[in-house]
Structure 1
Amino acid sequence: MTTPARPVPVVIVDDHAMFRSGVRAELASAGAGVVEVLAEAADVDQAVRAVAEHRPDVVLLDVHLPGGGGVEVMRRSALTAPDTRYLALSVSDAAEDVIGTIRGGARGYVTKTITGPELVSAIRRVADGDAVFSPRLAGFVLDAFAGSIEVAAVDEDLDRLTEREREVMRLIARGYAYKEVAKELFISIKTVETHMSSVLRKLQLSSRHELTRWASDRRLL
């Protein structure tokens, strides 16, 4: 008689408590007997401690976290939990986030539109050593390794921007009006204008038209 596979030990890392609770509930429902959630963490320091303590097979890792982001979690956990694998679970589908996270050591990247059963399958596959991506995101990785996206140039340019400036940049480049950006990010129109001026100055661009072309060339839209 075949022995059933043991549940995959998992740590959930995300700075939104309601989202962590939702993921835990989905995994309990869709992944009963397949996935076991050992702990949750809301920022980089908590995540590093949880990974070191529990040494899970898989960490469900948000890309943008207080304290340095998902890549920092992987970097700091490399020695304490060398066998742990990371599956990015993020709202972002931007090329720089996907490529940067994979370069940082993640085995997969899926967006938060994924269903419970799909997430359970992705966790199991990552635990087994596979690389897992949402279909559209796989193209970013293939393009990056094929050389059609200049990853170094993208990283160098984006490193000049703060996380909030990146959010404003992406929305403006997608055609959002300042009022719409303010509503989306829960900030004032004046703050949007300030961030936009800073983005154009740092990237040495002169208009939102140039910004849209710059972002499109780098697959950031």
Structure 2
Amino acid sequence: MSTPAPVRRVVIVDDHAIFRAGLRAELAGCVDVVAEAPDVESAAAVIRQQVPDVVLLDVHLPGGTGGGGAEVVKLCRDLLEEVKFLAISVSDQAEDVVSVIRAGARGYVTKTISAAELVEAVESVASGDAVFSPRLAGFVLDAFGTSGVVEDVRDEELDRLSAREVEVMRLIARGYTYREIASDLFISIKTVETHVSKVLRKLQLSSRHELTRWAEQRRIV
């Protein structure tokens, strides 16, 4: 007998209470809606508190610095290994899709989606797949290139690093010691330390462990 799929824990983030209530009712029995939030600050707080499997996220939200759904994802970027974000919006504008996907969301669907399709999308995103409404898929590829979403996120953030810093970052993520990196790149250990400090600062990370996770999430190790 096959093991049934786990019931996914979901947080709904939308500034319209009626939509949140309707979505909760539509998803009842299929997912476990553990919390709701109407704005950027409360969304980030409840996501950190609940650490759900999936966040259903509107892209236009009040609060924060005006970044909407993308800002919520960025505020929770250290949780992306555990928490997957699926944008759900009335908007099908390219700039909305691009901003939230660049921030780290795993998919984007419009609010015309059926309840059954949404449950399937939640499961797909929770399992690590990317999900887009059919009419969005074409311009998502146009915006991010044929190499895919992960590649574009990688490029955007790697642009902050020099060529040498990228080399050092890759070796750190592969588990090399500072001494091994120095030997491999023919530089001093002190120089390695300097490069690592700059990489962590530019990527807004605080430790070697976070850097390794950052690189693994983007498949650039």
TM-score with structure 1 setting the length: 0.62
Q: Structure 1: state its 5+ residue gaps.
A: 152-221
Match of 2:5 in 1: 5
| Aligned match for 1:41, one of 31, 37, 41 | 37
Match of 1:53 in 2: 49
- Note the 1:85-100 alignment, pairs <5 A: 85-100=84-99
Distance 1:101 1:79 in 2: 16
| Cα deviations by residue, 1:111-134 (Å, 9 ceiling, x for unpaired) | 000111011010011001110000
Match of 1:178 in 2: none
Q: How many residues align?
A: 144
Match of 1:106 in 2: 105
Q: Secondary structure at the match of 2:123?
A: helix
Q: CA distance change for structure 1 residues 122 and 17 in 2, over 3 Å: closer, same or farther?
A: same
Distance 1:27 1:2 in 2: 23
Post-superposition, which runs of at least 4 consecutive aligned residues in structure 1 deviate over 4 A?
A: none
Q: Structure 2: state its 5+ residue gaps.
A: 147-151, 153-221
Distance 1:3 1:137 in 2: 33
Match of 1:79 in 2: 78
Q: CA distance change for structure 1 residues 124 and 80 in 2, over 3 Å: closer, same or farther?
A: closer
Distance 1:137 1:80 in 2: 26
One-letter identity of the residue aligned with 1:38: V
> Structure 1 residue 3: deviation in Å?
2.5
Identity rate, percent: 62
Distance 1:126 1:80 in 2: 15
> Structure 1 residue 81: deviation in Å?
5.9
Q: Determine if contact 2:88/2:108 at 8 Å carries over to the other structure.
A: yes
Q: Determine if contact 2:86/2:107 at 8 Å carries over to the other structure.
A: yes
